[in-house]
Structure 1
Amino acid sequence: MRDQTVLVSGASIAGPALAYWLHRYGFTVTVVERAPALRPGGQAVDFKGRTHLTVLERMGILDDVRARRTGTTDMVFVDAEGRELGVLGGDFTGGDLEILRGDLAEVMYERTANEVEYLFGDTVTALRDTAEGVRVEFENAPPRTFDLVLGADGIHSRVRALAFGPESDYVTHLGHYYCVAGASRWSDAATPRERARGYAHNTPGRLAIDGGSKAQQMYMFAAPELDYSRTDTAAQRAIVERTFADMGWHTPRMLTELAEFDDLFLDSISQVRMDGHYSRGRIALVGDAAYGNTLAGFGTGLAIVGAYVLAGELATADGDHVTAFAAYDRIMRRYAKIAGTSNTGRFLAPKTALGIKARNWFIGSRLFTLMLKYGDNAANDIDLIDYPTLVDAR
């Protein structure tokens, strides 16, 4: 049965990882991606512990990822006059191995581009799940039928909305928004591999992170759900400018430079809640589409582990999606619990002055060290089946 056709929606992290494993196991794979090409640069993502590194090693990309790793950066919280209030160590923010999201996507894309069909500049518009396969309609390409459809298209997953129901049924807004601007300028050449320092300033409910003049910026702020288009960069920039207009510190200069960045990205800090059921019929979800928690620190690792498990279960079940999806749901239901343990907005942009003071104390305490240890243990809390060896032995 492993000559099946599979459509993967999304070409960021989980999508190319799925494509790699599925092709290796004998499936015919098509990846559809809304963007016209791979997105360069982007914010840094990281891997933690032996489980994540083992999956990268089994993919054969661990050395490539290490070669393009970023430097470790301590986040220094300062007051309006620049006095140091607390330090969030780079070991927390960067894990064991940190790389720009775009660089990671490029590494994985290069491993699959010659064997996998990529449809850039397109998206899924309709799905009809039948006994014979899933009939898929695209925005641009003609309709096609696939044996399986896998949604790896992020927290705002189109596949999830079409197959499971509206986003409001599965995505919970956690009370904050974040904005990254100028990420494409954060190249490997500009990011030293030695330890560096970045600076951040809080006022109640707001955080601004300054990467230096005309370099990457990041903002975070508390707000109820906002009504804006995720494709309207001007509207997103206006929200940030309005929210941070009176903040002080370096923010006036940052907002002046914000107009120069055309790669601004604003989104809510949200969590996906699927109750441990990531599949329905011939359709399954992986990565942020299934168990996303914005900026929680485990999303990239969950994505590559989830892709590894889903493809491995499909291969060992010889393409029997009912058996494979049930096993995938069971395995990831337990492992993905780690995605529900963090609210980054509340931690980095507390809503009160007392909350900011408590956060600064906490990151220098033994309690914070214990929290880091818990996170490291949770990242490895899975019995990682050696699917490549198991499949090859058959």
Structure 2
Amino acid sequence: MRILISGASLAGPSLAFWLVRAGHEVTVVERARRPRTGGSPIDVRGPAVDVAERMGLLPAVQRARVHTEGIECVDARGRRTASLPAGVYAKAGDRDVELERADLVDLLYGATKDDAGYRFEDSVTALEQDADGVDVTFLHGRPERFDLVVGADGTHSVVRRLVFGEESRFLRHLGLYVSIVGVDPELGRENWGVLHNVPGRLAGVYRYHGKADAVFMFRSPELSYDHHDLDQQRKLLTDTYAGGGWRVPALLDAVRAADDLYFDAVNQVHLPTWSRGRVTLVGDSGYCASPLSGMGTTLAMVGAARLADALAAGLDGAFERYEQAHRPLVATAQASVSHGANMLVPATGLALWRRNQLTKVIPLVMAARRMFRS
């Protein structure tokens, strides 16, 4: 079949990998000038590790591992208030891998660029489908017809909007906003995430491989702003964090100077079905669990493999088989986020104190468990 994939981040190239090996003619269209590599380190977890192994990419993924040593919380004067070494929350012998997003994107793109046709600086603008295929109109270039179209274009998916309707019907706001921007590594501690909280707000620095990202996360009802207006996003951040202690002033200086700031609501995507006719969705476009789950990459890679497996068994009923296989993992990931929000961004002073006290108890509990198991 001729298959169009919209989006060249993680889900799109992951799906392209399997489809070209099944003999399909695959085109990947991407609005950006190159594969989307931005963002902080990501996790390849559980079944996604098995997928990477099936792809023959696991050794390279493991070589790119980020060696996080732990998380440290500090007060406005930089004094440590809590600390969680990685050994506390990572299981011994765990196969999960944390690595830079850019490294994984590069691996997936490198494994597919010679077999799939990539079209950068272009995007889908219209879709018209019938029982036999989909007519696609592009921002640039001539219209084309495909047997299938897959939206792998993220939380704000164009394909989903064109086929299923406005995104407001499917996005569930979780009461938080998140922003990431590169900063001077001297502001961080190598291989550690250093976090500073006040009630309802988090500012932190994660340093790895000699570079560093600032992370902002704050509680808020839905805000009205232009997703493409960087100045509006800068103002929202600087207004929210004005007067902050610790290294917040220096982090805001980086925000003001940045030309690649990431800023978005923390959302989930919920649809009753991920497919309509000959169009389907994979990754965040269909079932974003939010960054709080730590499962976005895993859902994308596993979802791509399961969609390809379902298609390999025949087009008839393929989308139903895909959803039946993948929805349990999606449901688990989406249900996991409330705990992460309360740990990362406590809403009140009392909740913040409780979080810090809990981090002191957890290592003792884990040590006791190891002692009794031995």
CA distance in 2, matches of 1:323, 1:150: 16
Alignment of 1:306-325 (within 5 A): 306-317=303-314, 320=315, 322-325=316-319
Q: Give how far 1:81 is off.
A: 2.2
Q: Structure 2 length normalisation: TM-score?
A: 0.88
The 8 Å contact of residues 84 and 363 in structure 2, kept in 1 or not, is answered as no
Contact kept? 1:76, 1:88, Cα under 8 Å: yes
User: 1:33 maps to what in 2?
Assistant: 30
Q: 1:234 to 1:95 in 2, by over 3 A?
A: farther
Matched, 1:69 2:65: yes
**Aligned partners of 1:329, 1:52: CA distance in 2, in Å?**
17
Name 1:154's counterpart in structure 2. 154
Equivalent position amino acid for 2:176 in 1 = H
Paired residue for 1:199? 194
- Structure 2 residue runs of 5 or longer lacking an equivalent are 367-374
Superposition pairs of residues 339-378 of structure 1, within 5 angstroms:
339-341=333-335, 342-343=337-338, 344-365=340-361
Q: What aligned pairs does 1:43-122 form with structure 2 within 5 A after superposition?
A: 43-49=40-46, 51-90=47-86, 92=89, 96-122=96-122
SS in 2 for 1:29: strand
**SS where residue 161 of structure 1 aligns?**
helix
Gapped regions of structure 1 (runs ≥ 5)? 371-394
Percent of aligned positions with the same letter in both sequences?
Answer: 41
How far apart, in 2, do the equivalents of 1:105 and 1:329 lie?
A: 25
Aligned AA (2:198): T
CA-based RMSD of the aligned residues comes to: 2.5
1:13 aligns with 2:10: yes
**Aligned position for 1:223:** 220
How much does 1:121 deviate?
0.9
Q: Is the 8 A contact 1:129 1:135 kept in 2?
A: yes
- The answer to whether the Cα contact below 8 Å between 2:282 and 2:303 also exists between their aligned partners in 1 is yes
TM-score with structure 1 setting the length: 0.84
Q: After superposition, what is the alpha-carbon deviation per residue over 1:119-171, rounded to whole angstroms, capped at 9, x for unaligned?
A: 11111111112112011111112211110011111111111111111111111
Q: In structure 2, do the counterparts of structure 1 residues 174 and 95 end up closer, same or farther at CA, with 3 Å as the change threshold?
A: farther
Whole-angstrom CA distance in 1 between matches of 2:172 and 2:342: 14
Aligned-pair CA distance for 1:259:
2.4
Pairwise CA distance, 1:258:
2.5
Opposite residue 329 of structure 1, the aligned amino acid is E
Deviation readout 1:233-287 (Å, 9 max, x if unpaired): 2221111111101121211122123323222110000111123x21111111111
Amino acid at match of 2:134: V
In the alignment, the residues of structure 1 paired with residue 274 and residue 200 of structure 2 have an alpha-carbon distance, to the nearest angstrom, of: 34
1:290 is matched with 286
SS of the equivalent of 1:179 reads: strand
**Which stretch has the larger CA shift, 338-347 or 161-170?**
338-347
Task: Write the distance in 2 (CA, Å) between the matches of 1:210 and 1:358.
Answer: 22
What's the CA shift for 1:214? 8.8
The equivalences for 1:130-145 within 5 A come to 130-145=130-145
Matched, 1:238 2:235: yes
